């Protein structure tokens, strides 16, 4: 059995089809015909020469090897890795069938192999540096043979994704035959991500993101450490933060992918205005345990649910000067800038009975 690396487009544009169809595709747009008659590399090279008469011998050899891998060399139960675009993760699957030609499918989705996807979001940080280096080959399809890669990946699937640090990137560079054609941008990003992950954990990551946003001209508010109900940073352009776009950011320093509940919590935290009215106001007339929404934690949670220029209105049955003072004194904890209050003027009921 073998381990294959297949790319789902230069920008990941084929990922929805790969994962939605449970397949990997040979996405050469120029090869729309059935390729079952190509039984060896010589036949593949001849066909490519017909399609690409201006191609250099080196280019023909490179493409011949990739197409031969897809048509002739992949076997059921071989592992396949897809470097994800748009996220720092890998998708891992298992080849589940032979080469199939779908003549009625749109180009470039006519050449495929069925795949059983095992994990679509394995963090790149879970792989040793030598494996990441091998996955950095810029070819669309290639076999990953060095450093017992296939055996190690199966062990990772069985026992969890924890790097073993068995080899360094420099060792891989010296030994890997594909080292001359690497995605250097991706490898550089991996090294930067590793350094940031080591230096900035927890709330320190939020401080780093905040500094980057400020350097780009944003006005920001960073939630205090602790429960923030889904938002760590609110940001908007301009000296007062009234510009657009207005951004809500939840910063995560974990290695695992962000789950759906976390995303749903963030999506729901983007209100321009909110009315807080529990038990007739901050004094909590009917039950003492109703004052939670008005303490530091409750107000910080309300602030986190607002856009950077959002307004929190507090309903109250009477004027509450203690609460006004509380807002002024605890601004650093709640993140709320107290404005001139507008207390209600109660008009006597003059309705005829």
Cβ pair 208, 196 in contact under 8 A: yes
Q: Is the pLDDT of residue 181 over 70?
A: no
Burial class from Cβ neighbours inside 10 Å (0-12, 13-18, 19+) for residue 125 reads middle
Cβ pair 284, 291 in contact under 8 A: yes
The token duo for 135 is 């996955």
> How does residue 204 score in pLDDT terms, banded at 50, 70 and 90?
confident
List strand residue ranges (DSSP E) for the chain, in order. 3-6, 23-25, 79-83, 89-95, 100-101, 111-123, 141-143, 218-222, 233-237, 247-249, 271-276, 306-314
pLDDT digits (tens, 9 = 90+) for 43-75: 999 999 999 999 999 999 999 999 999 999 999
pLDDT digits (tens, 9 = 90+) for 64-117: 999 999 999 999 999 999 999 888 889 999 999 999 999 999 999 999 999 999
pLDDT for 193: 74
Report, as an integer, the average pLDDT of 221-234. 71
Question: SS3 for 207?
Answer: helix
Q: Is the pLDDT of residue 16 over 70?
A: yes
**Which residues are CB-contacts of 318 (< 8 A; sequence separation ≥ 6)?**
281, 283, 343
For residue 233, which of 195, 276, 198, 266 has the smallest C-alpha distance?
Answer: 266
Rounded Cα gap, residues 112 and 99, in angstroms: 6
Residue 221 bridge partners (DSSP): 234
pLDDT for 291: 67
Report, as an integer, the average pLDDT of 125-133. 85
Residue whose structure tokens are 């509450």 = 320
> How does residue 334 score in pLDDT terms, banded at 50, 70 and 90?
low
Question: SS3 for 105?
Answer: coil
Report, as an integer, the average pLDDT of 151-168. 73
User: The whole model's pTM is what?
Assistant: 0.57
Indicate the DSSP class of residue 220.
E
> How does residue 340 score in pLDDT terms, banded at 50, 70 and 90?
low
């Amino acid at each position: 059995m073998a381990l294959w690396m297949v790319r789902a487009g230069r920008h990941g544009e084929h990922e929805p089809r790969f994962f939605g169809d449970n397949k990997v595709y040979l996405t050469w747009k120029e090869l729309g015909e059935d390729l079952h008659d190509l039984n060896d590399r010589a036949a593949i090279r001849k066909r490519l020469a017909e399609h690409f008469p201006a191609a250099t011998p080196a280019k023909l050899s490179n493409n011949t090897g990739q197409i031969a891998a897809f048509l002739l060399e992949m076997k059921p139960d071989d592992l396949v890795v897809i470097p994800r675009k748009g996220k720092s993760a890998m998708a891992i699957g298992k080849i589940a069938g032979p080469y199939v030609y779908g003549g009625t499918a749109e180009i470039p989705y006519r050449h495929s192999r069925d795949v059983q996807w095992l994990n679509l979001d394995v963090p790149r940080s879970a792989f040793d540096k030598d494996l990441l280096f091998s996955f950095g080959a810029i070819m669309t399809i290639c076999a990953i043979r060095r450093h017992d890669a296939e055996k190690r990946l199966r062990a990772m699937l069985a026992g969890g994704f924890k790097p073993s640090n068995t080899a360094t990137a420099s060792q891989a560079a010296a030994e890997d035959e594909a080292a001359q054609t690497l995605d250097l941008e991706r490898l550089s990003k991996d090294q930067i991500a590793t350094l940031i992950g080591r230096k900035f954990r927890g709330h320190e990551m939020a401080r780093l993101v905040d500094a980057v946003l400020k350097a780009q001209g944003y006005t920001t508010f960073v939630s205090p450490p602790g429960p923030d109900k889904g938002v760590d940073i609110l940001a908007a352009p301009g000296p007062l933060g009234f510009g657009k776009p207005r951004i809500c950011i939840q910063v995560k320093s974990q290695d695992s992918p962000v789950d759906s509940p976390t995303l749903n919590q963030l999506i729901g935290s983007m209100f321009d205005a909110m009315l807080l009215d529990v038990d007739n106001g901050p004094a909590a007339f009917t039950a003492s345990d109703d004052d939670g929404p008005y303490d530091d934690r409750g107000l910080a949670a309300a602030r986190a649910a607002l856009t950077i220029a959002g307004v929190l209105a507090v309903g109250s049955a009477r004027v509450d000067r203690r609460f006004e003072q509380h807002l002024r004194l605890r601004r650093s904890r709640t993140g709320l800038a107290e404005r001139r209050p507008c207390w209600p003027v109660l008009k006597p009921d003059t309705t005829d009975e």
